[in-house]
Structure 1
Amino acid sequence: MTLTYLAITLLSTLGLGLFLVVTVRQAYLDERRDMLKAHAVAVRSEIAASPEATHSTEELACLVQRLSHSLGTHIIITTSTGQAIVDTAHGNLHNAQTDKPCAPVQTRCQDCHGTMPQPPPLSVTEPLSDDAESFMLTVSPPHSGAGLRRVMERIRSATIVALLVTLLVVSLISVRVASGIASPILGMNRMARRMAEGDLEQRVQVGTRDEVGELAASFNEMAERIRRSVNALAEEKNKLRTVLEQMADGIIVTNAAGRILVFNPACEEVFGVAAATVLDQQVYGATFMPDLQRAIQRALQGESVVEEMRLRYPQPMVLGVYASPFRDGEGHTQGAIVLIQDRTELRRIAELQRDFIANASHELRTPAAAIHATVETLLDGAKDDPAARDHFIAALARESERLTALTTNLLDLSRIEAAAGSPQATRLDLPAVLADVLELARPALESRKLALETAVPADLQVSADRVQLTQILTNLVDNAVKYTPDGGTIRVEGRLEDGCVVVAVSDTGIGIAPADQERIFERFYRVDKARSRALGGTGLGLAIAREAAEAHGGSLTVASEPGKGSTFTLKLPAA
């Protein structure tokens, strides 16, 4: 930019110099011509006022010589044909036939043979009189050619010197001004490049308050606003990324062509693929779910889709799919957004609830039906037979007890679930609680001739709700008694392990098949339904025990081998 300013300054100065030279030269020539015209008028007047000069060439020459000397001019008088008869540059008659300066000659020179001189560069030529055949008078400065050249040289030299000085001064000023203008502009240029590369912290140094300084200040303000806007956008983008990454539900966003733009971590977990491998692909290529692909196509056509789909790979799942289009400000569809929810657990819970209701209804209906049938039998006349009456009354008592136990267990289970995570835990002496439980089971142990072994440290303490802990241990010991053949052994051990109290109840009973070992904790699940009912089980004892253990932050597991017995292990926080 500085070179541009210098070039403009140089060209402007050269143009100005040329203009000044021409103008000054022309003004000088015009002024000299005006002066020569005045001298020519004076010479004509003097010659016209001298009769001798009009009739004698010698007198004319003498008069012209005097006038030339007094006026300081060069005077030439020529004939109408251009031949000089008087030329003061030679100091005498031009081409005269005598050596006398003022020899008499005829006014009309018939035989003059003077040469035709070249008019000086600066001269004025006028007729000596109004006569058509009058002589011509030419007036010019003395030595006009060389003098004019010297004057023009001096003017040219002075002009060149002035122009050089002016050029130097203007160049220095131009460089300073150009630098003052170019430096902020170059800074803004560098700043713009840095901003294009992502560096939004660059600023231009503002050193002036002129237009360039205002431009630099405006540029800095614009850069600051851009930085704030970019930071705000980056912050919003990070928030959105965090939301997408932390969402438990899957999110898929596609463009108008159905190609994937967003595939969050929840989707990666559901479909077993990495987002980097499926971006810009069709949804079917990433999920292998034609139903999902069709739902997205419908969304791209403007529909809102709500469906439940089943995923088979990489793991069987039930998915809730919500697909809808997203549009720009003009209402044009730009793509589709898909929300994917894992409903597998919800479906499992729903199935468990249905099974629970069906099982509970069945379990309640069985004793109720037995009671109803017994009552009808008694009413039909069995009450009159003492032996039959006693039998049916015992059956009524047995079924009513079973119904009472079933409803009690249902209420216990409901109460544990309602208070899940907040049991009234206190510091309990485990040997004391266990002693109460075993004391209640002692009649059954003795009648079945079952051996009981215990190995519980006397100082072992646990943090638990006393009622629920008693219920858990009662269910475990009761199960061991029911499913252990006569003469078998039941062992109860207690120990402290990794900050937890571990209670293991083992038996030498029939054992549990591996396929049933986890399901026995489901409500109303029985490995052998007929045997369980015959033993008086409700199918809720182990479900209640596990729910209560987990409510305390503990666990209840089983290890068993068919024909060799089972071991139920309870873990609860130590006191």
Structure 2
Amino acid sequence: MNTVASATLVAVALGFGLWAGWLIGRSRSLRPTARPETRRVPTLAELLQRTFRTTGSGLAVLSGSGEVVLHNRRAAELGVVRAGRPDPRAWAACRRVLDGSVQTDVVDLAPLDAGGPGRRPAAVVATVQGLGDGFTLVEAADMSESVRLEATRRDFVANVSHELKTPVGAVGLLAEAVLDSADDPETVHRFATKILRESTRLGALVTELIALSRLTGAEALPDLDTVEVDEVVTEALARARLSAEAAGIDITVDEPSGLEVAGDRTLLVTALSNLVENAIAYSPADASVSVSRRVEAGWVEIAVTDRGIGIAPEHQVRVFERFFRVDPARSRATGGTGLGLAIVKHVLANHGGEVRLWSRPGTGSTFTMRLPATGDTRRDRESAGASGRAGG
């Protein structure tokens, strides 16, 4: 067979193969596709039952005779239903709705056994409304957090009023004394000095109240800059230098670390200077306060340690509360406002960090600011660790 004939046969075979492949593919594409498995659509009653079970409110349906027809787990957790029976106060509200006395009733279901084991939320409010045909719906909600916040707000307002009233009243009395002693320069100077001290205290209190109001409840800061930890330490110590010299306190600090964090430099300096000032205020004369920094498990830590009076265990959980003072007399003597540690707590929280406390009465205290380490800081520390291991 010559070359031309061979080429012709090859071309015919190739064309036939392509045509056959096209027919097979076409036949497959024309086959009816298998229908997907039909899923059963839940009924409206099933959807309502799912909603009833998963809602965050406590729901219970009661019959006209006081029987619990239906309830979810949350209703039992909130005390609407107890051992299969409705709470007497909830049932009394249901009877008022059934009698037509009211269309909707609201009842306070404060737990009867709030102090016992398995205690329920401290504040529960239930709304009762009729469903017709002798049935009622009880819908209960946990109001404990709202009650706690309201109590905190009342305490805060009361504390602010008290703290402001003290220096304002003192300034007024001292001003009257100055007027009465206008002919005695020495007395005028003494009272004027006290006026200046009280006005300074008042100004510091107002400034910290404004700072705290801006920080409280705020979310993590959206726009963070790269902040050098060494600069934060240097500036905070500069702010506290006069207080340390006046109290005879020696401040020691470790070597520069080169660490960086993401944050707001002004807020971080404020937080650290508050910790240093606090350490100075609660240290005896001629004692020392130390500031150190390190990286630990992905956190940059700045620790302030004093050798002062220490904090009793029962007070350690409260030291970050507004206006709480371990030693009120010492705080008044040093001009403290009772807001410094609260500001530290909120600054760290807004940076995605935290502040920790270690203390022992008679030994001293260590407050540690913990901030998330930046990617560069973690990589540098890991590289240093790897180099150290290789060298060893």
- TM score, norm. by length of structure 1: 0.53
2-structure distance, mates of 1:556, 1:456: 22
Q: Look up the match of 1:397.
A: 196
- Structure 1 window deviating more from structure 2 (551-560 vs 433-442): it is 551-560
Correspondence for 1:233 among 19, 24, 43: 43
Indicate conservation of the 8 Å contact 1:423/1:552, yes or no. no
List aligned pairs for 1:307-322, cutoff 5 A.
307-311=107-111, 312=114, 313=116, 314-315=118-119, 317-322=122-127
State the secondary structure of the residue aligned to 1:543: helix
State the secondary structure of the residue aligned to 1:384: coil
Q: Look up the match of 1:489.
A: 288
Indicate conservation of the 8 Å contact 1:430/1:462, yes or no. yes
Indicate conservation of the 8 Å contact 1:457/1:495, yes or no. no
Q: Does 1:471 align with 2:270?
A: yes
1:306 positional shift: 0.8
Kindly tell me: are residues 293 and 451 of structure 1, through their superposed partners in 2, closer, same or farther at Cα, counting changes over 3 Å? farther
State the secondary structure of the residue aligned to 1:396: helix
Q: Does 1:551 align with 2:356?
A: no
2-structure distance, mates of 1:464, 1:456: 22
AA at the equivalent of 1:317? A
Kindly tell me: are residues 475 and 267 of structure 1, through their superposed partners in 2, closer, same or farther at Cα, counting changes over 3 Å? farther
1-structure distance, mates of 2:74, 2:138: 12
Indicate conservation of the 8 Å contact 1:309/1:318, yes or no. yes
2-structure distance, mates of 1:570, 1:244: 43
List aligned pairs for 1:102-251, cutoff 5 A.
231-233=41-43, 237-238=46-47, 241-242=50-51, 244-245=53-54, 247-251=55-59
Kindly tell me: are residues 231 and 463 of structure 1, through their superposed partners in 2, closer, same or farther at Cα, counting changes over 3 Å? same
1:429 positional shift: 0.8
List aligned pairs for 1:276-355, cutoff 5 A.
281-284=84-87, 290-302=88-100, 303=102, 304-311=104-111, 312=114, 313=116, 314-315=118-119, 317-327=122-132, 332-333=133-134, 335-355=135-155
Q: Does 1:534 align with 2:333?
A: yes
Q: Look up the match of 2:64.
A: 256
Q: Look up the match of 1:520.
A: 319
Kindly tell me: are residues 243 and 539 of structure 1, through their superposed partners in 2, closer, same or farther at Cα, counting changes over 3 Å? farther
1:253 positional shift: 2.6
Q: Look up the match of 1:368.
A: 168
Indicate conservation of the 8 Å contact 1:451/1:488, yes or no. yes
AA at the equivalent of 2:86? V
AA at the equivalent of 2:129? S
Residues 246-282 of structure 1: per-residue CA shift (max 9 Å, x gap): x3332223333333344334335445x9x9x95xx21
State the secondary structure of the residue aligned to 1:533: helix
Indicate conservation of the 8 Å contact 1:503/1:570, yes or no. yes
Q: Look up the match of 2:34.
A: none
1:466 positional shift: 1.0
List aligned pairs for 1:55-134, cutoff 5 A.
none
Kindly tell me: are residues 514 and 372 of structure 1, through their superposed partners in 2, closer, same or farther at Cα, counting changes over 3 Å? same
AA at the equivalent of 1:238? L
1:375 positional shift: 1.0
Indicate conservation of the 8 Å contact 2:174/2:195, yes or no. yes
1:370 positional shift: 0.8
Q: Look up the match of 2:235.
A: 436
Kindly tell me: are residues 432 and 365 of structure 1, through their superposed partners in 2, closer, same or farther at Cα, counting changes over 3 Å? same
1-structure distance, mates of 2:364, 2:48: 56
AA at the equivalent of 2:90? L
Indicate conservation of the 8 Å contact 2:78/2:124, yes or no. no
2-structure distance, mates of 1:233, 1:301: 34
2-structure distance, mates of 1:264, 1:423: 40
2-structure distance, mates of 1:550, 1:375: 42
2-structure distance, mates of 1:483, 1:269: 46
1:420 positional shift: 3.3
State the secondary structure of the residue aligned to 1:505: strand
Correspondence for 1:453 among 252, 262, 269: 252
2-structure distance, mates of 1:296, 1:345: 26
Max Rg structure: 1
Residues 436-475 of structure 1: per-residue CA shift (max 9 Å, x gap): 1112222332343334333466121111111111111111
State the secondary structure of the residue aligned to 2:300: strand
1-structure distance, mates of 2:230, 2:48: 54
Mark the runs of 5 or more structure 2 residues left unpaired by the alignment.
1-37, 375-392
1-structure distance, mates of 2:323, 2:145: 20
Determine which structure has greater relative contact order: mean sequence separation of CA pairs < 8 Å that are 6+ residues apart, divided by chain length.
2
2-structure distance, mates of 1:267, 1:496: 48
Residues 160-217 of structure 1: per-residue CA shift (max 9 Å, x gap): xxxxxxxxxxxxxxxxxxxxxxxxxxxxxxxxxxxxxxxxxxxxxxxxxxxxxxxxxx
AA at the equivalent of 1:550? A
Correspondence for 2:214 among 398, 415, 420: 415
1:495 positional shift: 2.2
2-structure distance, mates of 1:503, 1:300: 64
Kindly tell me: are residues 447 and 396 of structure 1, through their superposed partners in 2, closer, same or farther at Cα, counting changes over 3 Å? closer
1-structure distance, mates of 2:291, 2:76: 47
1-structure distance, mates of 2:249, 2:172: 37
Q: Look up the match of 2:74.
A: 266
Percent identity between the aligned chains?
37
Indicate conservation of the 8 Å contact 1:456/1:492, yes or no. no
2-structure distance, mates of 1:250, 1:455: 56
2-structure distance, mates of 1:528, 1:386: 36
AA at the equivalent of 2:62? T
Residues 209-263 of structure 1: per-residue CA shift (max 9 Å, x gap): xxxxxxxxxxxxxxxxxx99x83515x6336524641x33322233333333443
- Structure 1 window deviating more from structure 2 (447-456 vs 548-557): it is 447-456
Kindly tell me: are residues 263 and 487 of structure 1, through their superposed partners in 2, closer, same or farther at Cα, counting changes over 3 Å? farther
1-structure distance, mates of 2:150, 2:255: 41
Indicate conservation of the 8 Å contact 1:456/1:495, yes or no. no
1-structure distance, mates of 2:173, 2:51: 65
Residues 278-299 of structure 1: per-residue CA shift (max 9 Å, x gap): 5xx2124xxxxx3334334434
State the secondary structure of the residue aligned to 1:350: helix
